[in-house]
Amino acid sequence: METGYFGLFLSESVKLFALMTPPVALTAFLSASKFYDAERKKRVARKTALAIFIMGIVLYFCGDGIFAFFGFTLDAFRIGSGALLFLAAVSLMSESPEKSFINPDEDISIVPLAMPLCLGPASIGALVVLGASAKNTAESVIGALSLLTAAIGIYLILYFADAVQRRLGKVGVAVLSKLTGLLVAAIAAQVAFTGVQAFLR
């Protein structure tokens, strides 16, 4: 992989992983899986990561079709998804990530962990923008690999959730959530600014 493509891979992997708000997924998982045995926790982690990748890859490669069907422009979608990202960042900074709608007796891997906690409106918008922005096959493949890397990152976070909680404690997890909110806000500003700048030309 060329240096430029490797840099793009690292950049997109980090962005996608941040947009999936791992601290939020982690704290929700810890809350809902208190009474799970070790095997069930591992199974939920695997199913969540697989669901994220499958749904994400469909969104990533169908972006152009979505634009064509609804008559959107890429720059308009950038501005809209940037606004959603900013709202997600505000939510991370001001709210508790543990959600009361999680029922620990149900399968939580697809709903709510994969969607909407990891693949919410903001991250879905970002995926569609990334897919539509790919200029060639190499960039499309890099984007897909970045999505896979981010999904694996979520899997590892959930797989080692108990160890992470023991290491960080509740305060540490809360701090991680706030830091993720700051990173998402920065990404939101960049996405929206790119859309506005292109629109004004």
Surface-to-core class of residue 74, CB atoms within 10 Å of its CB (0-12 exposed, 13-18 middle, 19+ buried):
middle
> How many distinct structural domains can be found in the chain?
1
The whole domain housing 156 covers 3-200
Q: Residue 59 carries which side chain, given as an amino acid letter?
A: L
Half-sphere exposure of 196 (CA within 13 A, CB side): 11
Tokens (6 digits) for 180 = 């993720």
Residue 65 reports pLDDT greater than 80: yes
pLDDT at site 28: 84
DSSP letters spanning 168-184: HHHHHHHHHHHHHHHHH
Q: Is 71 helix (H, G, I), strand (E, B) or coil?
A: coil
pLDDT tens-digit readout, 79-118? 887 887 787 777 767 755 444 445 556 788 998 899 888 9
Assign 144 a pLDDT band (cuts: 50, 70, 90): very high
Quote the CA–CA distance of 196 and 201 in Å, as a whole number.
Answer: 9
Helices 137-159 and 3-19, packing angle to 10 deg: 40
C-alpha 92/C-alpha 84 separation (Å) is 12
- Residues 44-71: what's their mean pLDDT? 91
Q: Read off the pLDDT of residues 116-127 as tens digits, 9 standing for 90 and up.
A: 889 987 788 889
Give this prediction's pTM: 0.78
